[in-house]
Amino acid sequence: MLLKDKVALVTAGASGMGRAAAELFAENGAHVVIVDVSEDNARETVAAITSTGGSATAEVIDVRDLGALKALAERVTTEHGALHVLYNNVGIPGAAGMDLTPEEWDASIEINARASFFLSGYLTPALKAAGGASVIFTSSASGLVGSPFSPLYSFTKGGVIALVRSMALALAADQVRVNAVAPGSVETPGLKAFFRTDDEAEIEARKTAYQAQIPLGRVSQASEIANVVLFLASDMASYVTGVTIPVDGGLTAK
């Protein structure tokens, strides 16, 4: 019970890595606030957690709406007084290549960077009130090394890594640790979007080609990312701050 009696908030917490982390947080004793744009998925995730004795609530929010994020932070602070874990997981693959529309640019910046930046700021008083808290971001292996296919994605995820270092320094005196995970390819519902095709045969072909580059020889499962997120969220990582941990099967070690 690594998070017993603690409060955790997870963005994009109703599917993929976010859901895996939310469920693991709850299994370890946390009350989890699940933030997601899909009401059906959010309610389903809460039901799955509570059916096994866990504690969770859903917040249906489009993270591009800063007013909604600020109101969320105010509700969390009012209802719980403090926030022990903030997992800024939300993100999208975004548009590929360099020939982008302004709308495509804005969508990636707003979802991959702006939302987590502002939500972290809105929740800083609640994090400080915890007397020891953890903020975790989902970056990407593409934030550590360049992506020839998605420069905008690498740009946003690389920015997360710089933000983590800065926030860790800014909040260290208040005992708020700030870190990130950098997954490689993860077997989630969003994987199709990364391969940018709905053709199942083509997805399998691209997955096979990508796996050949990974030293461990396979893509990861969402639970494997969640395990590292739990470590960072818990007191097991009490002296870890300002770092980004690759969870990529050795891809960035080459």
Q: Is 153 a catalytic residue?
A: yes
Residue length of the chain? 254
The amino acid at 109: I
The catalytic residue among 87, 122, 153, 239 is 153
Residue pair 115/90 in contact (Cβ under 8 Å)? The answer is yes
Structure token digits, residue 17: 């890595």
Identify any residues that bridge with 181 across adjacent strands, giving them in sequence order: 138, 245
The DSSP code sequence of 128-150 is HHTTSEEEEEE--HHHHS--SS-
Within a 10 A sphere around the Cβ of 53, how many other Cβ atoms?
8
Residue pair 34/59 in contact (Cβ under 8 Å)? The answer is yes
Which positions are catalytic? 153
